[in-house]
Structure 1
Amino acid sequence: MYKVFIVDDEAVVRDGLKRTIGWQELGFELIGDYANGREALEAIDLNMPDLIISDISMPFMDGLALTAAAGSKYPHIKMIILTGYDEFEYAQQAIRLKVSDFILKPITAQEIRELLLKVKTEMDEETRRREDFSRLYSQLKQSLPLLKERFLERLVVTGMKAEEAQERFRYFGLTPLASPCLAMVADIDDFGSRSLQSESGQDTEILRYAAYNVFEEIALREDLLLFRTREERIALVVSDGAEDTDVYEKAFRVAEEARFYIHKYLKFTVTIGVGQAVQAAQQLPASYTSALSALDYRFLLGKNRVISLLDMEGRPALAGRLRADWDRQLASAVKTGSLEEIRQLIREFVCDLKQGMEPMDSCIFHIQKVILSLMNTIQELGLHESRSILLTDVYKYKTLDEIEAWLTETVTSVMNAVAENRHHLTRMQIRKAVDYIETHYADEDISLQHLCRHVLMSTSYFSLVFKQHTGETFVEYLTRTRMDKAKELLAHTGLKFYEIAGQVGYNDPNYFSILFKKHAGMTPREFRDRQAKESSQP
């Protein structure tokens, strides 16, 4: 929507244009009307119109003077001049001032609409050209740094012939590499205290750029090659032109400086892998690969470190140190053990992995074996938590310490689910037992063993959990149920006492009477008489 000013000293002309033209339908917004050029010129700075429709003859400042003043400051503003003077001199001045149209009054509303559509078409085309030009200019401005990064990435990651490399160094104005040289790779561990504040991709990208900027300042000072990889890592090439020891010393100094400043000022950490020194730029892919291998040792050593493959080489893996049956021990502990026992097992497992100094792939294999065993155990127990555990979950974490925390949290969740499942199952079994008692209380042969077979529980465990859930033993619950039923029969039927005893599970009426008195504090006859007396009272 283009913004429009109307400038005319005749109020009737301004009002007519405002009322008779459907501005918004034509793609315009009328944002002001003024009686002379001076008022309009003062308003331009505040409202910035795209189009001014102005009369030529006005007091204080005429239309041509307004056109000249506005055009010198804001050349993008279109001008349409309306005039009642058919003089060639005016037309000449309008042409010199690059007025869009010079129209003689009177003019109809339809002619104004056609004129506005014509001007809008021109403005749309100019807007498109400006946008295309801006985009091309931006692409041009960005292309050289991006092309330089892609060249460096190709040189270091995949390799390049010497002749082509020399030509590209000249093209990008880079200093040729001296021998020896080596590659380093820096990877952000995490964003530390800023993780919760950096949930959006935009904030994360800003933090990544801040880390890159630290390396960039050091690289400029030390004359290093620097680029970002497609995996969002930062790679550097260090060359010294002296001995291997000198290039290693320079690499460690640069890496430690960058690591320190990022941790101190940006409040998050990076780990940097230092590759092996090579004698020519064409050998840099080998150095880059060794830098990545060094970076992998973060999994064992932890975050916020500078790690050289030379430091890790020659350390034999302590093969066989890890217990072969660790996964089975964990599965057994999940089924029968305590939470503290499981946490201790996980601590021992991770400690063995660290001390064994096995490669990261080997560590991940052992961890995934444990996860698989855990998933099988969960399924055996009839739980559904296995849906949220995947073998690939291990790749979310960068260190064994993070794996330990995740395993502990996961197994704790499983243990809680196991306990809840057992509690729920026990409640269901006790409910089933209670229902059985309520239905078969009249069976004189009902027993604890018979009931436990019905609910598929051992007598000892059933006795324990039944008392926990009901507050009574099996015998106490059965006796109370029978006595409650006997009270109902005594109060509401004329059955004889021996008949009632038989209906609540006692073939011996005397034994029934003894139990009833012990339970109710009175004999069955006394209970019936009291109930009859109470029901006869008004």
Structure 2
Amino acid sequence: MYKVLLVDDEYMVIAGLKKLIPFHQYDMEVVYGASSATEALTYIAGHPVDVIITDVNMPGINGLEMVRQMREQLPHAAYIILSGYKEFEYVKTALNLQVADYLVKPVDKVELGQLLGRIAHTFASKEKTALPLLREDTTEEEFKEVLQDKPRVLLAAARTEQGEHAVPFTVLGQSGFLFLTEHEGDVLLARPFTAPYVSSFQEFTKELETYFFYGNVALQPNSSVFRYYEPMYRVIIQGNLQQILEELGLLEEIVLKTTPRVSTTKQLFIQFVMDVFHLFEHLKPDDMTQIIKNLESSKTFDELSQCMRKEITHLFSQHRLNENVANVLELISSHYRQEISLKDISAQLFINPVYLGQLIKKETNSTFAELLNKQRIKAAQQLLLATNNSIEDICYAVGYSNVGYFYKVFRKLCGKSPKAYRQQM
């Protein structure tokens, strides 16, 4: 599918194009709608597109200037200019920029459809006549046909175009070229390119993402960083900001030494901040959604770390957990596998159980039983993903004595059965 970017400061124009134009008929999909040229330029820095449909008159950078800047990053994309003005200077400038066409608003649905059809046909013709070797869908046979007689070849990445079969790439906002070479030279990353070529190529592209994210790649990467997390979780639920930030620093050191997949690291850090977030259950789910978006958008590990510290500190500035409730959370974390009750814990803390129950509800918006269930189900989720143990064994391991009740609680909190959860993940 060819990717389409719509740019217009009028929201209804973007919504109308999405609704009225059957992009799928031209093997196209609208991947983003930007309300300004600045937003559009920011988007393509990390998300290359094939077709740009833009208005001319927008606040700030106008559509023609935007196209001029975009051509430096996307020289082979197709540009369609829309405007409410049919003035010669606009048309002349658009033609000088070699845009696909200049259409006057209101846009004629048939005319635009015919234009998209011609663009799709042109793209398809170019692909058939000049497909690069280094692409995601290259088959093993295609690689062998080119490489089988070469004794030693390296798959490399560099800022400048060099070597053989060079193709441009953009990873985490960083641009450069992938190519084949016999000598490393001035490269960012290079690895022996051997059969099976498809998997070797896929591994290299993932490693390249890792390189740009961390600034380096560990010689022996190890993605099993989640095994370090359980003792950190015990510290998190105590609700002490300084201790949490210290644990975060330790986690950062571990990740930098092992440089796991970028997606794995982001998943781990999101889990970390979610567990901090759950200390303050009076907060709205939308707040967590925004935090996740901020973390996911990080293009480097430094950005991710800074974002983590900022979000965690902000959460604590909004609300500080009562010391007695923090103690309850710690005891739940340490003893959830056992038969424990609010009465038992209140006795340990020398607090009236009714008062403690009210305090827990006020601070966390959950009852003691709900907190205990959440802890047990969280532990069950980890066992479902990290082991091949039977669901019945996991049920008993996390503190439940009744498998049917375990299924009921799991489905209530996770929206699916333990078996379905394991299969989906």
TM-score by length of 1: 0.31
Report the structure number with the largest CA radius of gyration.
1
